[in-house]
Every structure is written in C-alpha cells, then in structure tokens.
Structure 1
Amino acid sequence: MLTDILNKYKIILGSKSPRRQQFLKELNIPFEVKFIDSQEIYPHHFKAEQITEFLAEFKSNAIQLKDNELLITADTIVWSNNKALEKPKDKAEAVKMLEELSNNNHQVITSICLATTKKTKIITDKTQVYFSKLSKDEINFYVNNYKPFDKAGSYGIQEWIGLIGVAKIEGSYANVVGLPVQKLYKELKNF
C-alpha cells in the first residue's frame, strides 16, 4: 500500500491530462494539479525514450516544490518509423499520422518523473501497438468526431479508433492511455 508515501508527501500531478488525473483517482491517491504550459522542445537528435525522459524531467523542473511535496510529471510519444509522433497540430496532421499507423505497428513510450526537493527518479514504459488497416472514411470519422489533438499519435486507444482499429498490444494498456500505472504504483511504494 501507499500509506507511507502518502503520510510523508503531498502528491502533486504536473499534468492537465484528464486521463492521468483519472488514473490517480482510481489508485485512491489524493493529489493536487499544478502545471506550467510550456513548449515541449527537445534536442533534435534525441530518439525514443530519450525524448520522453527529457520532457518528463523538463516538466518537473518547471514546477517549484516544497519539502513535503512529491511531484509526478510524465510525457508520452508514439514512436513510429524511427520518429516521434506527438500531438497533432491540426486535422490534416492527425489524418496523416493515422494513415501512417494504419496496417502497421508502433511503440507507445511514456516516461514518468518522480521528484521531491531531495530526489528525482525517472521510469519509462514501452508498449507495442498493432493497428489493422483503417479506411480513409474511418480515419476521417474519428478525427472529425473525436478531435484527438491532445493525444500523442492522434489517437486514444480507449476511444472508437482503438475499439475498431487496434488488433493487439504487447505491454501495458494503461501506458497507451498515457500513464503506466502499475510501474508508477510500484515506484511510489519504493520511493
């Protein structure tokens, strides 16, 4: 159980993601949300988990902590064809990303940074996701109706596109949603 860590620290979630907030609620972790809107810029030569680890820590460093606070920040990307698919800027980019993911597989990579005033720990999880072939009509329907502009790779596995398009996954489903909850729980217990 998390009793020791919850007695010791006030938990701060450095994310406005409703999915990450919901996961913490479901773990029965009381938390406060604090975040700073910032550009998610990283060195252009970074690849895969180098990107998510850098951004999770970057977000963490942007928030000032008190001695009794433990901050959780995270970053998720879709790694496809040796490049990062982040949040789409517009409808055209969302459609293009989904066309790339169609009938293909990719990795969803999430890194979490746990930080106090005295300690920082970064953990990363990877899930392999396999999409079946999506038609142009299916892609357009999803983008028009679900507007996945706040989601890495332009999709939410928990939404319509995940139900009809994801053939299989290897790894954590929660990671694809945006937070590898099992790894987070384990790390919090041992922090």
Structure 2
Amino acid sequence: KADLTHYRDASVEVIEVMSRFAVIERASIDEAYMDLTAAVQQRLKTTTEEQMRPCLLKTTYIQGYPQSGLDPPSLRSKGLQQWMESLPTPSSGELNCAELQLTMGALIVEEMRAAVEKQTGFRCSAGISHNKVLAKLACGLNKPNRQTVLPLESVTELFNSLPIGKIRNLGGKMGASIIETLKVENMGDLTRFSQSQLVQHFGEKTG
C-alpha cells in the first residue's frame, strides 16, 4: 500500500492557507470546495472600480468569452476584457449582480492561489461558479495553474459537447446507466429530459 503521509502533510499545509480566505470543505486529499459567499459580499461593500482591474485576474479565463465562437488561450485577455466591460461597477449599488459576484470570487481565488504558492510552493487550479458541480467542472477547463469562471449563460453551450462522465458523481456506474437507459452521450442531451422523466427512469431520489 502506498504511503500517502507526504501528500496528506502537503494537503494540510494548503488547506491551512486556503482557510484564511473562506470556509473550506475538503473533498479529497487534493481537492476542496470554498464557500465564498460571505467573503464576496463583504469585499464588494468596500471595493472600488480600481480594485477590480483585469490585470489582477492574470490567470483567469471566462468560459464563453470572448463571444466570438472561438476561445483559444491566445484570446484569454480579450475575453476577460469583454467580460469586465459588461459588469456594473461596484459603486453602482448592484452588489447582487451574479456576474459581479463571480468576478469578486475570482479575485479572491487569485489571491488565495498566490498565497498558497508563496507559502507552500504548491500550485493549484480553481473553478468559480454558482454551485459545486459547475465549479468542479470549471476547474478542469484550463489546467494547470489557472482558474476559470463559469457564468450561467455559458453553461448551455458547454453542456452541448460535454460528456456525461465529466460531471461530478456521473463518471461511474450512474453515468453508464444514464447513457444506456436514455441513449444520450452528453449533458446537452440529458438536459432535454424533464425531472419527472428522470424520476420515472431512475427513481425519486436519484432522478
């Protein structure tokens, strides 16, 4: 059996740094979720437009931007600029704007990842979105040592070509059962089924 002591010690170091920024939920030895809600709301109350510049998001990708149909890495800065220009300013009073909250979340995570690297020497990737499933999905889009914001408006397009097995908890027997039963391959196909249809096929709890 492999000795994971070294990895566990490293994980403890990283989690200790991350916990200074937000509430942490460990998912595995090398994965964790952060609830940024309170931190984002607090920061937005005192943030100025100058503190939300694109240059502070130097490793951030915005999924679906630029809105040109193509998003190679060379267009990262163009997409980020387009996204930032679409946001209300923090001083506008629209602090409940979902896009503004995601952007503040990305700024906090940039700071957190930089702190992790400085204090432990380890680099990490991150995904910023509205729930755990989307955040985990976003995390894998631009590895390594990068982070991706996944806004709700970009989910449908992403799902149209995303294999079902890429979604959290659908990579094993459950995913295989969905593919076999419903004759679907990607998440876009799956989202065309209603909740009642899914319950009919997979039961009340799973459906």
Q: Same fold (TM over 0.5)?
A: no
Larger radius of gyration: 2
Task: Report the structure, 1 or 2, having the larger strand content.
Answer: 1
Q: Which has the higher contact order (CA 8 A, sep 6+)?
A: 1
TM-score, length-scaled by structure 1: 0.29
Task: Report the structure, 1 or 2, having the larger helix content.
Answer: 2
TM-score, length-scaled by structure 2: 0.28
